[in-house]
């Protein structure tokens, strides 16, 4: 079974927010909904050193999505490949999913008065392309693929950095 996912190499993310605008372009989003949003963390003193980091926050495509559970119209579903999708035609705009999501991934769209979310660019994936955020990231900080492959990739990278 495939479980498609994104994994961020936070060491490589420098907060340029290109992924955000690439996502806006790809999914034709206006002002308001931010399906991916890079949050600045810090600077905080950690172990005597001032640290500043960037975390691209987006839908994590949970195995048991709390948003799906609470949706009264069953607008949210999980595809076989793991992608959690929201059918806006069925969306009431009740916002129950926004309340349920622990990560703030569900975004209000003022134009349609419905909820929208990261689709992992399913339309691109179906054509064999990477999601827009992945393709546009200057430092290739966003990894995309089956979760098992991604952890393996991270492992290799980590191992290489230790022995470099």
Partner 1 sequence: MIQEGGKILKTICQACHMSCGVLVQVVNGKIARIDGDPEHPLSQGMICPKGIAYQQVVYHPDRLLHPLKRVGERGENKWQRVSWGDALDHIAIKLLEIKEKYGPESIAACCGGNPRRSMPATRFLTESIGSSNWAYSDAFYCWGPHVIAENVTYGGRITSDVNIDTRNSECILVWGGNPVHTHTIVARDIMAARRRGAKIIVVDPRLTATASKAHIWLQLRPGTDAALALGILNVIIHEEMYDKEFVSKWCVGFEELKGRTLSYPPEKVSEITGVRAEDIKTVARIYTKAKPACLYLRVGNELIFNSTQSSRAIACLIAITGNIDVKGGNLFPCLPKGTIGRMFYVKKEWRLPEEKEEKRIGAREFPLLAGPRAPFGLFHTPLLVKAMLTEKPYPIKALIAANNLCLSLPNTREICEALKHLDLLVIYELFMTPTAELADFVLPAATFFEIDELIDRYSNFITVRRKVIEPLGECWDELKMTYEIVKRMRLKFTPWPELQARGWQGYEDFRLKDTGFVFKDIKAGEYVFAPMEYKKYERNGFTTPSGKVELYSSIFKEFGYDPLPDHVEPFESPASTPELAKEYPFILITGGRTIPYFHSLGHQVPWLRELVPDSTIEIHPEAAAKLGIREGNWVWVETPRGKGRIKQKAKLTRALHPKVVHSVAHWWYPERLTPDHGLWESNINVLTYSDPPYEPICGTCAMRGLLCKIYKGTEV
For residue 69, state whether it binds partner 1 (rule: CB under 8 A): no
Least separation in angstroms between CB 27 and partner 1: 6
Least separation in angstroms between CB 72 and partner 1: 26
For residue 112, state whether it binds partner 1 (rule: CB under 8 A): no
For residue 24, state whether it binds partner 1 (rule: CB under 8 A): yes
Query: CA-CA-CA-CA torsion for 64, 66, 67, 68, nearest 10 degrees?
Result: 40
By CB under 8 A, name the one of 138, 152, 158, 159 that touches partner 1: 138
For residue 27, state whether it binds partner 1 (rule: CB under 8 A): yes
For residue 104, state whether it binds partner 1 (rule: CB under 8 A): no
Contacts (CB under 8 A) with partner 1, residues 37-66: 42-45, 50-54
For residue 12, state whether it binds partner 1 (rule: CB under 8 A): yes
Buried b or exposed e, range 23-35, using 16+ CB within 10 angstroms: bbebbebeeebbb
Nearer to partner 1, 20 or 115 (CB): 20
Q: Which residues of the shown chain bind partner 1 in the complex (CB under 8 A)?
A: 12, 14-18, 20-22, 24-28, 30-32, 34, 42-45, 50-54, 123, 135-136, 138-139, 164
């Amino acid at each position: 079974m495939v479980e498609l996912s994104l994994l961020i190499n936070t060491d490589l993310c420098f907060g340029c927010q290109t992924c955000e605008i690439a996502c806006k372009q790809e999914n034709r989003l206006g002002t308001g909904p931010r399906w991916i949003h890079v949050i600045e963390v810090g600077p905080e003193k950690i172990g005597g050193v001032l640290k500043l980091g960037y975390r691209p926050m987006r839908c994590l495509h949970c195995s048991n999505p709390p948003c799906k559970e609470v949706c009264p119209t069953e607008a949210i579903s999980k595809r076989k490949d793991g992608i959690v999708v929201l059918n806006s035609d069925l969306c009431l705009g009740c916002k129950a999913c926004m309340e349920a999501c622990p990560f703030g991934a569900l975004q209000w769209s003022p134009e349609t008065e419905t909820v929208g979310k990261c689709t992992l660019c399913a339309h691109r994936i179906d054509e064999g392309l990477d999601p827009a955020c992945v393709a546009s990231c200057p430092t290739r900080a966003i990894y995309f693929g089956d979760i098992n492959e991604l952890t393996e990739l991270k492992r290799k990278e980590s191992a290489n950095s230790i022995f470099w």
